[in-house]
Amino acid sequence: MLLPEGDLKAILEAALAEGGDFAEIFLERRRTTSISCEDNKIERVISGLEQGAGIRVIAGENTAYGYSNDLSRESLIQTAALVGKALKEQKRSAGRKGQISFHRPRPEVEFNIKKRPDQIPVAEKVALVERANAAARSVDGRITQVTIGYGDVIQEVTIANSEGVLVDDERVRCRFVVNAVASDGKVIQTGFESAGGHQGWELFEEVNPEEKARQAARRAVMMLEARPAPAGKMPVVMAGEAGGTMIHEACGHGLEADLVQKQLSVYAGKKGQKVASELITVIDDPTIPGKYGSFRFDDEGTPGQKTVLIENGILKEYMYDYLTARKEGRRSTGNGRRESYQDRPIPRMTNTYIAPGKDDPEAILRETKYGLLVKRMGGGQVNTTNGDFVFDVAEGYLIQDGKVGPAVRGATLTGNGPEVLKIIDRVGNDLGFALGTCGKDGQGVPVGDAQPTIRIPEMVVGGILDEEDKQ
């Protein structure tokens, strides 16, 4: 616990002294290690400690927020008073009455960290990065550049609010990334791989970092030899291993309650309506053990919970934090997240995925005579207001007579998220996860996303128009 209960009560009372009706304090101590290797040498080994507290006061529809890196009782009482006074000129509520009596919510899940990263020598972490670098470079002489990154974080938090919620939590995450560049003198291609989760050094008992590095290098080399992607409308099979980038970007953000309430989401006002194929169920779940977006409590002290957003094509729920839930007189879904104590919480995804279906992934491919097989997604852009998106394909193959054909490069996928979800006609019984840092309103938070193998009967694929490929 980062502060005694008595101090927390005093800080919250100071925040409410000017008449606010809700106050919250978020205390954080974060220890990090970051190692990077470039140009065949270790470039950076950085360890750090950061701590501070964020204080929020809500009065009616108005919110004020302030933070400090001084965790002393006196400093935080002063900060709380300043935050409370920031609302003084605005329309005030009658204020909260009565004493604050804390209770501790119970989490729906417990995570077992087997090997804490702070107990692993830095030299061992550096050695792992160096082995991965050597493995990637050994794949092919055309590998010209390899970048390896390792990072771990141990985040201790204490969250308390004037409604009596008091939570202590510890989040432990490790992450490993590889980016390989290959060149034949004319063409340059890249390959990327990553691994990570809400877990400790045991991550590398599940994931072989050298093999991850070789996979990235092999993809870069393979893309050198790939033919240009054809252009036009065609069936697209997205393999489970592609991860859930599309569902995260083209659908997930539009289901965050702040965007819905601001009418900035294509899904606003559609709860209870059909928004996807009956084969599609979309879930957000921070309680999955070991995944990168997992947690016991969100950053407002609400226990993490599984939320079914779309069920058999019907929109069932949005993702709420405390403030958006308060506006509708309901409970939070446990999606209030923030990057650090310097940021106010907003509705965010956690681990978001399309639930597995009943189809054999191999049968989906076999029964698709022509099209594009996507095995790895790249970056992209999405308009959450209308659902339009454009995504790059990092690894793709032509489908010819139901079989995996030649690799193609330069493909893009263009479409509309809600429309694509409505026409999906095959959903596999597999599930592949990806991880990343999701950005929104200037804040980045760790997330996971996943999907099974799915088939979209028709999508616009950007590439090079080649009539021969359509035969």
Distances (CA, A) of 234 to 412, 429, 469: 12, 23, 11
**pLDDT number for residue 367:** 97
Determine the pLDDT at residue 250: 83
| pLDDT in the model for residue 468 | 44
pLDDT bin (cut points 50, 70, 90) of residue 133 is very high
Q: Determine phi and psi for 323, rounding to 5 degrees.
A: -70, -45
Q: What is the pLDDT averaged over residues 269-288?
A: 97
Q: What is the pLDDT of residue 215?
A: 97
pLDDT of residue 465: 56
Cβ atoms of 299 and 270 closer than 8 Å? no
pLDDT band at 471 (very low <50, low <70, confident <90, very high): very low
Q: What is the pLDDT, as a whole number, of residue 257?
A: 98
**Average pLDDT value for the chain:** 94
pLDDT of residue 16: 95
pLDDT of 404-416, one tens digit each?
A: 999 999 999 999 9
CA angle 161, 166, 169 (to 5 degrees): 120
The pLDDT tens digits for 199-238 are 999 999 999 999 999 999 999 999 999 999 999 999 999 9
> How many CA atoms, within 13 angstroms, populate the side-chain half-sphere of residue 229?
27
Three-state DSSP class for residue 197: strand
Average pLDDT of the residues in 331-345? 98
Average pLDDT over residues 168-193: 96
- Confidence (pLDDT) at 470: 44
Q: Kindly report, residue by residue over 118-127, the tens digit of the pLDDT.
A: 999 999 999 9
Q: Which pairs from 87-92 meet CB under 8 Å and 24+ separation?
A: 87/18, 87/19, 87/20, 87/57, 87/59, 87/62, 88/18, 90/59, 90/62, 91/59, 91/60, 91/62, 92/18, 92/19, 92/20, 92/59, 92/60
DSSP 427: E
- pLDDT beyond 90 at 98: no
Q: Which percentage of the chain shows pLDDT scores above 70?
A: 96
Going by C-alpha positions, the residue among 294, 419, 429 that lies closest to residue 355 is: 429
* Residue 469: half-sphere exposure toward Cβ, Cα within 13 Å: 22
Domains recognised in the chain with CATH numbers: 117-153+171-226 (3.30.2290.10), 232-469 (no CATH)
pLDDT grade, residue 93 (50/70/90)?
low
Confidence of residue 469 (pLDDT cuts 50, 70, 90): very low
Q: How many CB atoms lie within 10 A of CB 21?
A: 18
pLDDT at 192 over 60: yes
CA 250 to CA 391: how far, in whole Å?
10
Split at pLDDT 50, 70, 90, the class of 177 is: very high
Q: Please state, in angstroms and rounded to a whole number, the distance separating the CA atoms of residues 252 and 439.
A: 13
Q: Which residue has the tokens 């990090």?
A: 32
- The mean per-residue pLDDT over the stretch 152-160 comes to 98
239 compared with 384, residue with greater pLDDT: 239
